[in-house]
Structure 1
Amino acid sequence: MNRIDRLHAILTHLQSKRRVTAQEIADRFNISLRTVYRDVKALDESGVPVIGEAGSGYTIMEGYRLPPVMFSQQEANALLLGGKLAEKLTDGSIRQHFEAALFKIKAVLRSTDKENLDNLNNHIEVLRFRGPSDENADSHLTALQQSIAERRVIYIRYHSGGKEELSERMVEPIGLWYYSMYWHLIGWCRLRKGYRDFRVSRIQRLQLKDETFDGSVHPTLHGYIDSMKKDKSELNEAVVTMQNEFIRYIRESRYYYGFVKDEAAGDNCTRMYFMTGHMEYFARWLLTFTNAVKVESPQLLKDTMASFSKELHQHYAG
């Protein structure tokens, strides 16, 4: 990247956040801090109102706006791909805002790039399985983002999938986490007096309260995730081998059951590792593959599979 392009990119970066540190700029553009200082000084001398705050970072004077940005063809293609993902991996509240933003972005594209996007649009698709529990959860993500940004307490009516319970909670949200094909809300539950993981598709009702909370008393989302990786007391590892000819049937569904990794196991089989907190539920899923799957560990899973198999035999033999 030449210096002119870098100066333009640094200005865009400065406008993307309320405050940007010199180290952030250095890391993003792979340049030294000395170069950052020179580039920021050059922007200031060219008339850009950059305000430097000692020990804090740089800000752009309120009211200053960069003229409409022209996107490259590759950047426009990336936005199209992002739009496809947003369409299938978010809910209705997010999709309508993303579509509006994408129309504004397309308005500043060159004619050739607009034509390229139209041609490319019909050649990219994202497929996602949506279960019955997703059908009524189509408007929560926008409200959840607002509650996290403004540190507002939320009320939720939540349906627990494991215990089949319906409960009402007051929650202090700390973040949204996408894993195992679903969005999850992480927050401090006042009812349970602890941090809880709520699958967004199981939230039947949500209301933002006027009450705010002190976010400094909670960990960041990344801090929470790191602690979960260190503390797996509520999860158990399950190791199974499956015949390769059946693997194609579980490429996507295995993530619903805590899939971690796989490896070749010889004899045309694959060894798969899962982390699950519901061994009985996991065993019922494995049972659908009959003798195509073999449990290696733990013993509890082996015993559970044996018990289910015996019950099934008695049911049909009787």
Structure 2
Amino acid sequence: MRRADRLFQIVQYLRGGRLVTAAQLADRLEVTTRTVYRDVADLIGSGVPIEGEAGVGYLMRDGYDLPPLMFTKDEIVALVAGARMIRAWGGAEMGRAAEEALVKIESVLPDEARLRAARVKIDAFSVFAMDEAMRMLVDRLEAACDQQIKLALGYSDAEGEVTQRDIRPLGLLFWGRTWTLAAYCEKRQDFRMFRLDRMDHVEERGPFKDEKGKTYRDFFARKRPEM
């Protein structure tokens, strides 16, 4: 669950003046109590009228409503343009989700902001090989990165030689025409980037946990100067 969604859920659970403990919130949200303490402190700091303390419980008096969703004009342009780009070049589920997100956002925008969203003159079209199979692969690899699932795949290098790789998928990178997967390669014992259009028979190999020197942050620390 994204942190923004988690904060929203905490507010919902505390509505109505009921005392709710951090342990109960942690159980519902599937996080640690320490995470709940931090999230509640951030909500209080942002002005949400939550009462209580760690070890006792929290409550929120009746009458509090979340503030309406507001964006600046520049933020609206960025959201609309980004959604259209994902629709053109992203995964199949990503594209549908981007469209649905825009509908939800527009439904809560004031009239002037909604009209600004409709006037955005930025569009994107896929003229490259983004067929349905490639779009589904993008979705599948994004899910593997998010859920930290090891993958086994066949991979063709620039000369067409195919090798078998066991990798830890870390993140997807789009270069304006080609998608690549940033990963930690178990065979090479190092970070590698794999072009999606050179992959074959991708298979899941079970979960992995972050290890020092093998994370997405470590990848960028190493590769950013080259990129």
> Normalization by structure 1: what TM-score?
0.48
Partner of 2:123: 125
Deviation track 1:82-141 (CA, whole Å, cap 9, x = no partner) reads 212212332323112222222222222234433332333xx22235551x5x44422122
Aligned CA RMSD, in angstroms, stands at 4.1
**Displacement, 1:193?**
4.1
Give the percent of matched residue pairs that are identical in Structure 1 and Structure 2. Answer: 16
Contact 1:137 1:202 in 2 (8 A): no
Specify the SS of the correspondent of 1:115: helix
1:48 & 1:104 partners in 2: Cα distance?
Answer: 31
One-letter identity of the residue aligned with 1:118: A
1:165 is aligned, of 161, 166, 177, to: 161
Deviation track 1:274-299 (CA, whole Å, cap 9, x = no partner) reads xxxxxxxxxxxxxxxxxxxxxxxxxx
Q: Does the C-alpha gap of structure 1 residues 81 and 221 become closer, same or farther in structure 2, counting only changes over 3 Å? A: same
Q: Flag the structure with larger Rg.
A: 1
**Displacement, 1:21?**
10
Q: Does the C-alpha gap of structure 1 residues 48 and 106 become closer, same or farther in structure 2, counting only changes over 3 Å? A: farther
Partner of 1:47: 50
Q: Does the C-alpha gap of structure 1 residues 177 and 39 become closer, same or farther in structure 2, counting only changes over 3 Å? A: closer
Specify the SS of the correspondent of 1:169: strand
1:105 & 1:71 partners in 2: Cα distance?
Answer: 9
Contact 1:158 1:205 in 2 (8 A): no
Q: Does the C-alpha gap of structure 1 residues 157 and 92 become closer, same or farther in structure 2, counting only changes over 3 Å? A: farther
Deviation track 1:190-236 (CA, whole Å, cap 9, x = no partner) reads 34443321012332443334x11231244332322332356x6xxxx
Deviation track 1:140-191 (CA, whole Å, cap 9, x = no partner) reads 222222222222112333333x121334432211222333643221212234
Contact 2:149 2:208 in 1 (8 A): yes
Partner of 1:152: 149
Could you tell me which runs of 5 or more consecutive residues in structure 1 were left unpaired when the two chains were aligned.
1-11, 23-36, 54-59, 233-259, 261-318
Aligned length: 192
1:14 & 1:221 partners in 2: Cα distance?
Answer: 23
> Normalization by structure 2: what TM-score?
0.63
Point out which structure has higher relative CO (alpha carbons under 8 A, 6+ apart). Answer: 2
Question: Is 2:225 aligned against 1:227?
Answer: no
2:170 is aligned, of 171, 174, 188, to: 174
Contact 1:158 1:202 in 2 (8 A): yes
2:7 is aligned, of 12, 15, 35, to: 15
1:142 is aligned, of 139, 144, 148, to: 139
Runs (4+) of structure 1 moved beyond 4 Å? 16-22
1:217 & 1:190 partners in 2: Cα distance?
Answer: 14
Q: Does the C-alpha gap of structure 1 residues 229 and 102 become closer, same or farther in structure 2, counting only changes over 3 Å? A: closer
Q: Does the C-alpha gap of structure 1 residues 224 and 79 become closer, same or farther in structure 2, counting only changes over 3 Å? A: same
Greater share of strand residues, 1 or 2?
Answer: 1
Matches within 5 A, 1:65-84: 67=66, 69-72=68-71, 74=73, 75-84=75-84
Specify the SS of the correspondent of 1:216: coil
Partner of 2:191: 195
Could you tell me which runs of 5 or more consecutive residues in structure 2 were left unpaired when the two chains were aligned.
10-30
Partner of 2:26: none
One-letter identity of the residue aligned with 1:197: M
